[in-house]
Amino acid sequence: MITGKQLREAFLGPGMKFYFDRKLALLANEEITARIEELLKYLNIAVHCNGDIPVSREIYDVWHYWILETAEYERLCRKMYSGGFLHHSSRDYAAYADPDAKNRRVDLTFGVSILSSYVLNYGPFVPDRVKYWPLAVQLMEHLSWNLDQLNDWLSSVLPSAERELQVAPVPITAPAPKLDFATFRG
């Protein structure tokens, strides 16, 4: 399992930590650290897939701050596991070519694969971090599950061959509970 500390040590230099402390000065240090770690988890998963992985506005804001420091963002992308540059494009911009882009819903199977990959690589969701992953929160609300039930289910949908440490999203083989795909938003 990859810890938040390992992520920070691998990807967050002291200059960027100083920068985030300045940009997010109204937040407690623990909250700044949590947001940075969740962003790094997100980016580590996102760099391996083509798809919209919904995270909260707080995480997108940290990502946008990092992107503003272009040299540091390029350096971060080179250090990520794929070594590639992770581009960012807003749904508002995408709407120019595709007017429905802003209303596109998350593919539920893909989203569950991402959440399962999170649990596989970073351990179970914890109460103060799950809020940054809207699909996880929506699943709990829609299914009337608590956090333990969500984590147990996300662990169970991983095929046994995929239980080795990896960052890329894993295919889902276990049946999902009955879900209305139309209820999940990006």
pLDDT digits (tens, 9 = 90+) for 121-142: 899 999 999 999 999 999 999 9
Query: Which domain range does residue 10 map to?
Result: 4-101
88 and 37 within one domain: yes
| Co-location of 20 and 93 in the same domain | yes
Do 9 and 88 fall into the same domain? yes
Q: End of a domain among 80, 101, 122?
A: 101
Q: Kindly state whether residues 92 and 149 are assigned to the same domain.
A: no
Whether residue 92 is found in the same domain as residue 8: yes
- Token output for 152: 């147990």
Residue that is last in its domain, among 39, 66, 101: 101
| pLDDT tens sequence across 40-86 | 998 888 776 666 678 899 999 999 999 999 999 999 988 885 666 77
Residues contacting 30, CB < 8 A, separation 6+? none
Residue that finishes a domain, picked among 47, 80, 101:
101
Show the tokens assigned to 61.
């804001």
- Total number of domains in the chain: 2
Alpha-carbon gap, residue 61 to 145, rounded angstroms: 28
